[in-house]
Structure 1
Amino acid sequence: MTKRLFPLALIALTAAPLSLAAPQGRAEALPRLAQAQNPATPDSQRPVHRPNVPGNDAPAAEGQPSADQPQKDQAAKPPAPDIHGLAGPYLAARMAAIQNDFRTAGDYSLRALAQDDTDPFLQDSALVALIAAGDMERATALAGTMAHQGRPTELGRLVRRSELARAERWDEVIADIDAAPAASDDGDATGGSALIDGMIRAWALLGAGRASESLSAFKELAKTRGAAPMVNYHLALAKAKVGDFEGAEELLADPATGSHILGVIARAQVLSQLERNRDAIAMLDATQGLDEEPHLIALRDRMEKGETLPFDIIKTPADGMAQVFLTFGSVLAGSEEPDPLALIHARLAEYLSPQLGEARLLAAQILQGFGEFDLAEQEFEALRDLGDMRPVAELTRIDALARADRLDDAEKAALTLTAAHPELAPGWIALGDLLRQQDKFAQAVPAYDKALSLIGDASPEARWFPLYARGIALERAGQFKKAEADFRAALKIRPDSAQVLNYLGYSLVDRNENLDEALKLIQRAVELRPDDGYILDSLAWAYYRLGRYDEAVAPMERAVAAMASDSLVNDHMGDIYWMAGRKREAEIQWHRAQSLKPQTEAEAHRIRAKLDRGLDAVLAEEKANGGKLPPPPPAPEPAQDEAAD
């Protein structure tokens, strides 16, 4: 039985921890790279005449430059326009915050505070923006001002305590916590609570040289309902820090306490200090996702060579305090929507412990969720500067670059990842996805080949997505027989995969092959996803190919209702209306399809031809021309002015 790596936050606010380790089949649930962070985008999107094609239509994220625009670091942005008075900067800061433009929000908030530096709401708003942007120098200065004014907020206190801890002024941290109003166990709007204050205080006690009081404080906090696993992890770190490795191992051996990546590292170091390298190696071997964590592999190799690992997962009590923030940040990041409080905790963690890669990775992932791709890229660069090029981080970075429409950079990052870790299937899948997004279908096939060879036959479920994706690449590259084999292999793994059923069915319809089987495949896809416009379009088109025009009308009308702005779907509706004898309605649909800017000139030319001569004439011309509509005649040369001669 293998163990799975869980995130650092275990049961503080949730009973269902999620895995931090990238699963072997990472892309199987991702119809395209952007889907993980853009759940509103349906995985059935496709380019012209191709149903459910993941990875070829990822639009630039809202507010991001298009592919032909140079991508600039946010630090290079021109300064925010000068707005005088209080109302202007305040409103500008609010608008920037709504748009998740943290740097601009911070700048305008400070300008508003220059007009009125006594408003706690303005101060907290500025703190949130500055911390989110990673501008800890100005954030700590503002928190200090708030403390000196005698009006510290809960967030201001957290920042102030972090600054004191970073300076190892532990007695002042303890005094600040003891003098603050009592925090509730439920916490408040800033994420502050008796639990987080207590854990910070326990680490401060250790920093102040009061080890026995520190351990007692952690033990008392572990009695908090639902908090024992999380607190016991920190208690184990504190025990190990003072040399009680037996006590630390007893706590970390509990899966509820140590089954996350930092817990696994800590336990390996503790076991090694206890001269139990074999046990540590066995523990690592039983950890699911080991192959995707080079740091764990490196620890294993060192112990295989007989080296005793130092206990250095935390070097100072400030590192322990940083992991407190990371713990709470991980909990807050567990929701579907990105949470600014999660980002604040991640930023405080990396401020206290700049070498803590998990904090930078968490910050990068949250920033990516907010659409702050440049700020996220800075965190990924910091990870690489630390020599911490972990696949899970690089895969997230590749996703962020792709969503920012920086496909060239994303492709380079994927190539770098596969070169550094050629043994990791998710890297090859990500590379294949990026190549497909750029219509490099023939180049994508070898990437999926490599991924499938690495996955092997031992994990059929992990093979599903790369089989499906390779099938798409092969079909688009003109190798349908090979593509069909991949689609059918994917269906053996997931017989009820609506997207594969639809893609294979539509491809057969488009080729005018096995139409009865194609119809059954698409009908099953519709049963699974009755409201998916693209699948309804496929069903209607299958009826059309079979000459069952009246039956095609209803699903096609439902498809148009679901995707009124799709040129191809409206074009199909026109063809079906025409063949059903509703020619005036057909012309209306073709006009609408034309107004929606068809994706290719060939599609636009065909629509113009149908409006000019009717569908019957177009079909006859295509039949006479080997299935293709003759190109339009060249535009006449402009008449030359004879006088110019």
Structure 2
Amino acid sequence: MNKTLISLALIALTSMPLSAQDAPATPEAPETGTPAPEGQGATPAGTAGVDSPIIHGLAGPYLAARMAAMQNDFRVAADYYLSAMAQDDTDAYLQDSALVALISAGEMDRAIALSTTMNEQGRATQLALLVQRAQLAHAERWDDLIAQIDKTAPASQDSPDGGGFLLDNMLKAWALLGAGKASDALAEFEKLSKIQGARPMVNYHLALAKAKVGDFEGAEALLQDEATGAHIMGVIARAEVLSQLERNKDAIAMLEAVPGFSDEPMLITMRDEMVKGETLPFDAVRSPADGIAQVFLTFGSVLASNDEPDPLALIHARLATYMAPDLGEARLLAAQLLQSYGQFDLAEAEFDSLRELGDMRPVAELTRIDSLARVERLVDAEKAALALTAEHPELASGWIALGDLLRQQEKFAQAVPAYDKAISLLKDAPGDARWFPLYARGIALERSAQFDKAERDFRAALELHPNSAQVLNYLGYSYVDRNEKLDEALKLIQRAVELRPDDGYIVDSLAWAYFRLGRYEEAVAPMERAVSVMSSDPLVNDHMGDIYWMVGRHREAEIQWQRALSLKPETEEEAHRIRTKLEQGLDAVLAEEKANGGKLPQTHRPEPRPSDVGQEPAPQAD
């Protein structure tokens, strides 16, 4: 699909302020040319936050709205834009900005009311017209929708304002089908498919329309083209079409060949029904309104596929959900976009809706869980992982995700049964799938003071994946920490460094292993390398100070300890130990710890996630 074409198809919408940073210094209202309220062209440096007492009149709410928009806080931005409109309800720039925020926040009733007002005032922008089209389609007012498109759509793709030609006419084609004009609808799609770069996208909708009117042979001829149907919605539609053609065997083969088939319960359920001899109903689109929802979803998906998703992607996902509330792909797209914007509460509402629809997508849930964990929303992530394992107890990756979350929260004993379940589910899986949960369970066991069991897991993981720097480093350092098998321990860590020479944590482990073995001179070079890689890490700088002290470089040791303190160690205990070393020297600290039976502080140990697996070098034979 030609992404440039899709962007051009929406160019009429890009003149509106999608966020504060998109607004021009002296913004013009779309279409009307009305300037933004005086003094509102740019947010002054040092403007107070949205709770500031300066929020009054027109300027205050406007500035607060722009600040909220910069932070993608759509609900707050919408409320402040509407507050500004209370001072001036005819400013098209404010209206369009409020409309963007309302739709992005999923507040479609308020968005529809605002777009209606803009239309009644004769100030309907391209976005307001798009919302009005969705409203007419939602009410199945097909003749009114066709008339509105004919009146306001660009006359041709080459018109000066022809950016919306493709989108409008795809909506019109579905509206024609809704109005009972099937031949005209199919002809409209056929005409649009001739637009350069639009053929795969249009043919997908043409296939849906053909299937809707009973032409399953015509639909299959289109969907079998990978450019047209090689996406999840196309796969589902094609399976239903093949089943309607009494070709269940072909449909089953097609489904089982889909990459990641085993992680898509929806596809598995379809396959199982056909294996039992059942004919799948064609309900990929149940009505022309569903077809229009998929038009919005198609445009939204393309706009979201760039490295930096276009803000219009969320708008189209929201419009698709408004048209078809049970269209899981649209809710999933909205949820993932909201997550990428840091709007986790809004995203969670969409994920909750998916669960209520019985449409939990394991792959998407795993991404969601990982995203929540990365922003340290561990309680929410754990709740999501528990829900996933309850809904899909057969999914090993769900149990691994749960175990990882419990481990991140230092619930090591609780993590072990989660990994047990994953490992049991993977007993017949290839080694590439089994080494990671063994390694992760080994960490949980080691942290639960069950080292004998942990050691067995680490060694089993290494048998399956002998060149895992993570496992080599963890097992090697565990031996050093326990003062066991020191020669082997050093070899394990040295091998890990060979595999990941630029990994500061592993190089730190090597240096610290030399330190624990009393080989202080040999520890200097790797520790200096670790510091160069992780100069802002307090623990690495602390270690560097200890090693300098032991080789007689006391002044340099004190400098490293002072730097470690300035970088704020994780715990007060660590900070106190560093201050004591600065006051009394390392020798005194070690003597006191030895007298009290204490242990030296531990070095970094990796806390892997499933996503780390792909960063490992491929297993190789020794």
TM-score by length of 1: 0.77
Q: Is residue 250 of structure 2 the alignment partner of residue 250 of structure 1?
A: no
Query: Once the 2 structures are TM-superposed, how far is the Cα of residue 436 of structure 1 from its aligned partner?
Result: 0.7
Gaps of 5+ in 2: 6-49, 602-622
Query: Once the 2 structures are TM-superposed, how far is the Cα of residue 87 of structure 1 from its aligned partner?
Result: 1.9
Q: Is residue 143 of structure 2 the alignment partner of residue 153 of structure 1?
A: no
TM alignment of 1:47-58, pairs within 5 A? none
CA–CA separation in structure 2 for the residues paired with 1:461 and 1:393: 22
Letter paired with 1:382? S
TM alignment of 1:463-612, pairs within 5 A? 463-491=434-462, 497-513=468-484, 518-519=489-490, 521-522=492-493, 525-526=496-497, 531-612=502-583
Which residue matches 1:219? 190
CA–CA separation in structure 2 for the residues paired with 1:108 and 1:187: 36
User: Which moved further from structure 2: 232-241 or 244-253?
Assistant: 244-253
TM alignment of 1:45-444, pairs within 5 A? 83-180=55-152, 182=154, 193-399=164-370, 401-403=372-374, 405-444=376-415
CA–CA separation in structure 2 for the residues paired with 1:359 and 1:80: 37
Change (3 A) 1:185 1:403: farther
Which residue matches 1:620? 591
Give deviations 1:95-147, integer Å, cap 9, x for gaps.
11111111001111122233334444333322221111001112122222333
Query: Once the 2 structures are TM-superposed, how far is the Cα of residue 90 of structure 1 from its aligned partner?
Result: 1.4
Higher relative contact order (CA 8 A, sep 6+): 1
Percent of pairs with identical residues: 75
Which residue matches 2:32? none
Change (3 A) 1:574 1:408: same
Letter paired with 2:257? A
Change (3 A) 1:158 1:494: farther
Which residue matches 2:3? 13
Query: Does the 8 Å contact 1:339/1:366 carry over to 2?
Result: no
Query: Does the 8 Å contact 1:252/1:267 carry over to 2?
Result: yes
CA–CA separation in structure 2 for the residues paired with 1:528 and 1:155: 54
Query: Once the 2 structures are TM-superposed, how far is the Cα of residue 305 of structure 1 from its aligned partner?
Result: 4.0
Query: Does the 8 Å contact 1:128/1:344 carry over to 2?
Result: yes
State the SS of the aligned residue for 2:56.
coil
Change (3 A) 1:629 1:437: closer
Change (3 A) 1:155 1:511: farther
Change (3 A) 1:563 1:417: same
Change (3 A) 1:12 1:619: same
CA–CA separation in structure 1 for the residues paired with 2:81 and 2:67: 11
Aligned residues: 557
CA–CA separation in structure 1 for the residues paired with 2:252 and 2:89: 56
User: Which moved further from structure 2: 242-251 or 253-262?
Assistant: 253-262
Change (3 A) 1:323 1:445: same
- Aligned alpha-carbon RMSD (Å): 3.4
Which residue matches 1:450? 421
Change (3 A) 1:585 1:107: same
Give deviations 1:597-624, integer Å, cap 9, x for gaps.
4334543443344234321233334444
CA–CA separation in structure 2 for the residues paired with 1:607 and 1:558: 21
Query: Does the 8 Å contact 1:606/1:629 carry over to 2?
Result: no
Query: Does the 8 Å contact 1:291/1:424 carry over to 2?
Result: no
Letter paired with 2:87? Q
CA–CA separation in structure 2 for the residues paired with 1:536 and 1:223: 59
Gaps of 5+ in 1: 1-10, 16-77, 631-645
Query: Does the 8 Å contact 2:186/2:210 carry over to 1?
Result: yes
State the SS of the aligned residue for 2:194.
coil
Query: Does the 8 Å contact 1:183/1:194 carry over to 2?
Result: yes
Change (3 A) 1:513 1:414: same
Query: Once the 2 structures are TM-superposed, how far is the Cα of residue 495 of structure 1 from its aligned partner?
Result: 5.4
Query: Does the 8 Å contact 1:497/1:525 carry over to 2?
Result: yes
Query: Does the 8 Å contact 1:621/1:629 carry over to 2?
Result: no
Which residue matches 1:636? none
User: Which moved further from structure 2: 314-323 or 538-547?
Assistant: 538-547
State the SS of the aligned residue for 1:243.
coil
Letter paired with 2:338? L
Query: Once the 2 structures are TM-superposed, how far is the Cα of residue 454 of structure 1 from its aligned partner?
Result: 1.8
Query: Does the 8 Å contact 2:153/2:168 carry over to 1?
Result: no
Query: Once the 2 structures are TM-superposed, how far is the Cα of residue 93 of structure 1 from its aligned partner?
Result: 0.8
Letter paired with 2:408? Q
Query: Once the 2 structures are TM-superposed, how far is the Cα of residue 347 of structure 1 from its aligned partner?
Result: 0.6
Query: Once the 2 structures are TM-superposed, how far is the Cα of residue 234 of structure 1 from its aligned partner?
Result: 1.1
